[in-house]
A = this chain, B = another copy of it.
Amino acid sequence: MAAIDHFWAVIPAGGAGTRLWPLSRSSVPKFLHDLTGGGRTLLQDTRDRLAPLAEDRFVVVTGRPHREAVLGQLPEVAPDLVLAEPAPRDSMAAIGLAAALLERRDPDDAVMGSFPADHVIPDPHGFGEAVRTAVEVARDDWLVTIGIEPTFPSSAFGYVHLGEPVDGHPAARHVQEFVEKPSVAVATDYVATGRYRWNAGMFVVRPTVLLDLLARWHPAFAADLRAIAAAPERLDELWAGLPKIALDHAIAEPAAAAGRVASVPSAFHWEDVGDFDALATLLTGAGSVTVLGDDDLVRPVDASGLVVPAAGRVIAVVGLDDVVVVDTPDALLVTTRARAQDVKQVVEGLKQSGRADLT
């Protein structure tokens, strides 16, 4: 797979992964974990699948508390391109900061692709081909999303509504609109039409196009980001005033309405791994109990489900089906795959009762 000239991989490494508690914590969030058992963390996997395309052109944007961990996990990335947000400001600020930096560093030819650090994509080749196509479209000043083919009518993801093919780019489609997480019934209709794709938050765009689109709807926001890139010492001062808004709401939705967004529909296997049910599906192997970690520690008797022995202790599970047991040194979760979404209630409860240290 050949590298793409002037292609810059941007990795916003944020998000707590609350529904993966107690494995994922605000102190050690989802992207810093090896959730596939393959020996690499989600962040490292994200870099690995982009390296053939971007070579050493990476920008990582993460929270200040996680910068050291990110540097440790990604020795291949230049430290000055691992940016630390002074405080969480959602995805528009994070990705916009990378765009402003790249606009100055590689003003004429840069195309950036932004890819969340915490997704699982077992098909790097299919992914790479989609990115290559998206970059070609983006060079013509489109804001390009990669549209994931739905494998079921999920109510957990937003969708992009595909329009007609893009002139000169037959593999790309106009995006008519972004739609928020629908009900399962609505999602079923979407999937049946064949004209909807999951929005996985993967955007490919020229940095200047991104910032100019932002300037159209949020001019002060774009100006502040460009000011930070011009004078990095002003980061703390200006960052505090930035709006807390997702890129989707800030620019993708209005730009779609303005006919500026294209999508590259793709069929590579993609997993959000949003909760332990999804993780169990991803990992399910031959045994009745799926183990993320050392198999020898898990002793099932008439049991099935997912067990994560992350504290090094022996775990016996007797007579429970589709159970989820996640064992960490200071907190233990016992639930079922069907109730995996409700783990966030536990995290909220801990915060409310003064045990935010565990979240």
Contact = CB atoms under 8 A, between A and B. Distances in A.
A318 B301 contact: no
A359 to B, nearest CB: 10
A335 interface: yes
Given A299-B350, A314-B330, A315-B332, 17 more contacts: A302-B342, A313-B330, A313-B331, A314-B331, A314-B355, A315-B331, A315-B333, A316-B331, A316-B332, A316-B343, A318-B336, A318-B339, A318-B345, A318-B346, A319-B339, A319-B342, A320-B320
Contacts of A314: 22, 330-332, 350, 355, 358
* Chain A interface size, under 10 / 10 to 19 / 20 to 34 / 35 or more: 20 to 34
A80 to B, nearest CB: 39
Interface string A234-276: 0000000000000000000000000000000000000000000
A325 interface: yes
A349 interface: yes
12 contacts: A22-B316, A301-B346, A314-B332, A315-B331, A316-B331, A316-B333, A317-B334, A318-B339, A320-B323, A320-B335, A320-B336, A323-B334
Contacts of A318: 333-336, 339, 342-343, 345-346
Contacts of A358: 314
A332 B332 contact: yes
Contacts of A346: 299, 301, 316, 318
Interface of A: 21-22, 299, 301-302, 313-320, 323, 325, 327, 329-336, 338-339, 342-343, 345-346, 349-350, 355, 358
A80 B246 CA distance: 75
Contacts of A350: 299, 314
Contacts of A315: 331-334
A357 to B, nearest CB: 10
